[in-house]
Amino acid sequence: MVRLAALLCLFCVPAFADNACDYPHDDFDGLYCLNKVFQQADHDLNTAYAQLRAKLDNPGRAALKSGQLSWMRNRNDSCSKHEGTAFYVNLKCATGTTIARTQVLQDRYRECISSGCRDSRL
């Protein structure tokens, strides 16, 4: 009986971890949850970037890289700040900005597949 209870608890831990983000107890729990969402958004962005890059010729890749670096500077300027020795990141801003950029990259990928890649849109 004890083994069964221990085994059931092993399956409860992942469910509890997922539900913990539904009702964070404090700001640090909220930060943990926001960071998880940002990490997934960043992963999705990197996947979309690589997928699009693979469809482009050399000038297209250069345009994509330039556009991505510009986007990163804009995201950093909009979603983070320095105050003395402290550095602050607004994860909600960074996540939303990253999700929006992922959508742009996915749209460009679909264009490449359907009607050809247009460097001017990168």
* pLDDT given at position 56: 97
Mean pLDDT of 47-73: 97
The answer for residues whose C-beta is within 8 angstroms of residue 106's C-beta and 6 or more apart is: 48, 52
Mean residue pLDDT across the chain: 87
**90-100 per-position pLDDT tens digit:** 999 999 999 99
51, pLDDT greater than 50: yes
* pLDDT given at position 13: 43
Kindly list the structural domains of the chain, giving each domain's residue range(s) and its CATH number in brackets, ordered by start.
34-121 (1.20.1270)
* pLDDT given at position 25: 86
- Please state the three-class secondary structure of 65-122 as a single string: HHHHHHHHHHHHHHHEEEECCEEEECHHHHHHHHHHHHHHHHHHHHHHHHHCCCHHHC
- C-alpha pair distances (Å), 27 with each of 1, 21, 57, 59, 97: 39, 11, 46, 45, 22
**1-48 per-position pLDDT tens digit:** 444 444 444 444 444 455 678 888 888 888 899 999 999 999 999 999
